[in-house]
Structure 1
Amino acid sequence: MATIVWFKDISKRDIGFAGGKAANLGELLRANLPVPNGFVVTANTYDKFLDEAGIRDQVNNLLKNLNVEDTDKLNSASKTIKSVIINSEISSQIAKEIATAYDKLSSGTIRIAGASFESGEFVAVRSSATAEDLPDASFAGQQRTLLNVKGKSELLNAVKECWASLYEPRAIFYRTQKGFEHEKVSMSVVVQKMVDSYKSGVLFTIDPTTNDLNKIAIEAAWGLGEAVVSGEITPDYYVIDKRTGKLVLKKISEKPFMYTRDLEKGRTKKVNLSQEIAKKQVLTDDELFMLAKFGKRIEDHYAWPQDIEWGIEDGQIFILQTRPVTTIKSVESQMPATLVMKRAATQAAEDIEEILETETGIPNIEVATVEAEHEDIESILEKEVATPEVSETLPEFEETILEIEKAEESPKEETLPAGAIVKGFGSSPGKSAGRVKIISNLEELSKIQKGDILVTAMTTPDMVPAMERAAAIVTNEGGVTCHAAIVSRELGIPCIVGTRNATKILQDGMLITVDAIKGIVYAGAVGVQVGEEKQLEITQISQITTATKLYVNLGVPSRAEEVSRLPVDGVGLMREEFIFASAVGEHPLSLIEKGQEQKFIDNLA
């Protein structure tokens, strides 16, 4: 297998050597979508690096029988493994092939993010693991992304940083919880021309909180997308009805800062915005139209709802990544017949588990120290202040017109209902009661006990172990595509984001009820007992007669009753390794070695 493969030569079937992110970027490029050019350092190259450096056994031994619930041991193993990888040399042959590909990428005539200055292109270097963003496991933010990398030596260091991030504590913990064997997971690395976005965000081709397939949800903010996906700000939020093409919801938030490139140092920097720009609506009518059109096109291509990251540079929209939405319940019963049939045909040709995708967020940003000159992006925003708001009618959207009605906007002041103390945006529906635990830093995560309500400014991937113990999550910032929202939906726990003041209003030990259906926090236990969780019910759907029998892939044993209400003919695949992870809790061979075969049999049964 080659060390380097270009996007144009990759499709979604190439996850085995390209990883989920790269496979989808290649698929989009081959579908003539606006994807910045790049190449992938294949997963085989990572495996070759381990063997040439002679560190594979050392890495595996450090992970063998590791108790991931012991935070100190987990962090220690992670630190040692990452140090071993970063301090190992990449062979001259691998380094030469990466450098040659970088030279070729930098020689293009298309200028993206400062390509004409100094030697080499500015690139984003992103991990693309062979077991990330599965249909039932998003692995959101588990591995490293590095932005504004420039020069061959910086690139080689960035590649090793991505390889090492396969062993971040959160990544080791998450793989263990999901039943993935560490030694069978490999890592490719995406090297892609950097888009210096002055507008960016996330697009869902489904309402991510209600799973309504007839809606397109778009979040947008100024600058690079880091602030949106990490949940550091509350972005603008738009909802478009696919059937009518009408904008049915518009919430314009105050976005006090943005991330962009430092024009003197080439680093990613945080820039505070004026009140006028911070409160300005980000997207124009044309941009909304084009984003919605791209979203529908990508969803049709994959025959499945998509989670898409995008950026706008010099007036052009770029698609930065896409992945299937991983938290859908009973979606096929809502799908148009043509989409269901197309998806069935796709799955007949390839297993759905091959449709992996990129990580949902990039909360762990590392930037190279480089020099650059570039047009001041902040001056572009000054022009935006004078741009008119979205007009009453958008351009033609297929057979319909995207009309801007008097869509609901965020009220300036809201009156809370009786008993309510905090209001935000319900991003993972459900209702739970419990005691407040406010988390200000990672050192406080041990405060979270089973059934507590985790309250913080915004979650990070390092908080996932604590999030799994929480009964609900409440954050100050973020939108429906931020880390807290995505992980909460996957865990199936209520989550309210964008409250602005939860960490100030709520106090440690308070008994509260989190109603994430309405986005409201109540004092005391209201309509639910402590320890009880109420989720949105899936209504019984009548069986549809089809010539082909439909069977479900059951990945989580605890959801068997919920899945039984779907209009399917039975269970076609039950992932036994997930039973081991969730019910048995130990590897079968480990139990056998201990002479505990009966324990294994009893737990499995």
Structure 2
Amino acid sequence: MSLYSFPFDSTETPQHERLGGKCTSLAIMTSAGMPVPPGFAVTTDAFDAVMNDTKLHAQIEEHLKGLDYNNPAEIDRQAALIRELILTQEVPEAVRLEVVEAYQNLMNLCGGEVPVAVRSSATAEDLPDASFAGQQDTYLWIIGEHNVMQKVRECWASLYTARAISYREANNIPSEGLSIAVAIQKMVNSRSSGVAMTIDPTTGDKTKIVIDSSWGLGEMVVSGEVTPDNFVVDKVMLSVVNRIISDKHEELVPNGRGGITRREVDEERRNSPSLSEEEVVAVAKLAKAADKHYGCVQDVEWAIDADLPAGANVLLLQSRPETVWSQKETPVASLSGGAGIEAITRSLLSSLEKNKK
């Protein structure tokens, strides 16, 4: 077993405490045969080695000790100092070599060097009773071993933004044992992308799948920077029962230099559907499959890959439990002491084991 990396297509059972919420989900979905872009996790063991095999852990604790959480300026100052410590700390050689090897294996699998997404995967994220969305970092269209390693460091450092520190304090999430993994995954060339929920988020109707879609990368949908197309699909019949086509004025696209750029959508596409009827149904089927696999309502991120043929171009980027209606229906154990983490980990791994039988 590799200690510091975990391929998503590994035959080993993923462990939430080693992979975090996002990477655990990606590994489980890959094992279940869902169309997930290939990639691997830089495990929490790597972060723990950087923290504990150096003086980082003690230094960070010193910065957090006695912190006045009613003083935003002081939180900002200490958070910036902690992140700088992480970004400048030399990574232990064993960690660096294994992560580089896993990255090269991924590039070989993809037939050469391709852009990747580098995404944080904290151990306390994507839980039904706590939403960490957007609190740790995501970097897109990253090319090259050196750049990937730098973004891994930045993901580690994002565990200590002022917002993340304050959120953990407000929600009684202890810093002791806190760790983070990082997902490194082939970048999807998104023609269209967005989110799908296997419940109507406005009414709680579980007989519907609601899809938001726009041109380009999905970050503008998630952040609310563009008003997406909206499709409501009957979950049983997989028929579209309502649609709203919006004026989608901007999109994020690759710039050809290993990054992304924001541009205006051409006049012809602005008010045209970003998904065909067949693609809406394909996205709905994907979301429904994730819902069935996990056994609970899902919040799914998906994309249509422009490089792939119709019928094979709908990809699953992430699937996590829906957080609003699930809290109303089922009280979940407090995160204090790790009870919430253990509960969802048991659920995810139980689902995986059932599908292996």
Same fold per TM (> 0.5)?
yes
TM-score (norm 2): 0.88
- What residue in structure 2 maps to residue 319 of structure 1? 316
* 3-state SS in 2 of match to 1:321: strand
**1:6–1:40 Cα contact (<8 Å) kept:** yes
Cα 1:321–1:353 shift into 2, 3 Å: same
- What residue in structure 2 maps to residue 97 of structure 1? 98
* 3-state SS in 2 of match to 1:184: coil
- What residue in structure 2 maps to residue 257 of structure 1? 250
2-structure distance, mates of 1:11, 1:18: 12
- What residue in structure 2 maps to residue 148 of structure 1? 141
Cα distance, 1:75 vs. partner?
0.2
- What residue in structure 1 maps to residue 53 of structure 2? 52
Cα distance, 1:68 vs. partner?
2.4
- What residue in structure 2 maps to residue 180 of structure 1? 173
**2:14–2:27 Cα contact (<8 Å) kept:** no
- What residue in structure 1 maps to residue 32 of structure 2? 31
Letter in 1 for 2:100: A
* Bigger Rg, structure 1 or 2: 1
Task: Please give the root-mean-square deviation of Cα atoms over the aligned residues, in Å.
Answer: 1.8
Cα 1:210–1:266 shift into 2, 3 Å: same
Cα 1:9–1:169 shift into 2, 3 Å: same
**1:24–1:323 Cα contact (<8 Å) kept:** yes
* 3-state SS in 2 of match to 1:67: coil
2-structure distance, mates of 1:275, 1:68: 49
Cα distance, 1:55 vs. partner?
1.1
Deviation by residue 1:105-135 (Cα, 9 ceiling, x = unmatched): 001256xxxxx5xxx3211011100011211
Letter in 2 for 1:79: A
**1:257–1:273 Cα contact (<8 Å) kept:** yes
Which structure dedicates a bigger proportion of its chain to helix?
2
Cα 1:260–1:187 shift into 2, 3 Å: same
What pairs with 1:454-533 in structure 2 (closer than 5 Å)? none
**2:238–2:284 Cα contact (<8 Å) kept:** no
**1:134–1:355 Cα contact (<8 Å) kept:** no
- What residue in structure 2 maps to residue 270 of structure 1? 262
Cα distance, 1:147 vs. partner?
0.8
Deviation by residue 1:539-590 (Cα, 9 ceiling, x = unmatched): xxxxxxxxxxxxxxxxxxxxxxxxxxxxxxxxxxxxxxxxxxxxxxxxxxxx
What pairs with 1:289-438 in structure 2 (closer than 5 Å)? 289-313=281-305, 314=307, 315=310, 316-328=313-325, 331=329, 351-352=343-344
**1:221–1:228 Cα contact (<8 Å) kept:** yes
* 3-state SS in 2 of match to 1:269: strand
2-structure distance, mates of 1:353, 1:135: 11
2-structure distance, mates of 1:323, 1:243: 21
Cα 1:12–1:320 shift into 2, 3 Å: farther
Q: Which segments of 5 or more consecutive residues in structure 1 lack a partner in the other structure?
A: 111-115, 333-349, 357-605
**2:49–2:92 Cα contact (<8 Å) kept:** no
2-structure distance, mates of 1:12, 1:257: 41
How many aligned positions are there?
Answer: 330
**2:100–2:145 Cα contact (<8 Å) kept:** yes
Cα distance, 1:21 vs. partner?
0.3
* 3-state SS in 1 of match to 2:317: strand
**2:254–2:260 Cα contact (<8 Å) kept:** yes
**1:148–1:267 Cα contact (<8 Å) kept:** yes
Deviation by residue 1:501-521 (Cα, 9 ceiling, x = unmatched): xxxxxxxxxxxxxxxxxxxxx
* 3-state SS in 2 of match to 1:198: strand
1-structure distance, mates of 2:146, 2:241: 49
Deviation by residue 1:351-396 (Cα, 9 ceiling, x = unmatched): 236558xxxxxxxxxxxxxxxxxxxxxxxxxxxxxxxxxxxxxxxx
- 1:88 aligned to 2:81? no
Cα 1:70–1:355 shift into 2, 3 Å: farther
Cα 1:257–1:355 shift into 2, 3 Å: farther
- What residue in structure 2 maps to residue 224 of structure 1? 217
2-structure distance, mates of 1:287, 1:97: 39
2-structure distance, mates of 1:107, 1:45: 23
1-structure distance, mates of 2:290, 2:343: 19
* 3-state SS in 1 of match to 2:48: helix
Cα 1:10–1:127 shift into 2, 3 Å: farther
Deviation by residue 1:394-443 (Cα, 9 ceiling, x = unmatched): xxxxxxxxxxxxxxxxxxxxxxxxxxxxxxxxxxxxxxxxxxxxxxxxxx
- 1:69 aligned to 2:67? no
2-structure distance, mates of 1:353, 1:109: 30
Cα 1:243–1:101 shift into 2, 3 Å: closer
Cα distance, 1:18 vs. partner?
0.5
Cα distance, 1:94 vs. partner?
1.3
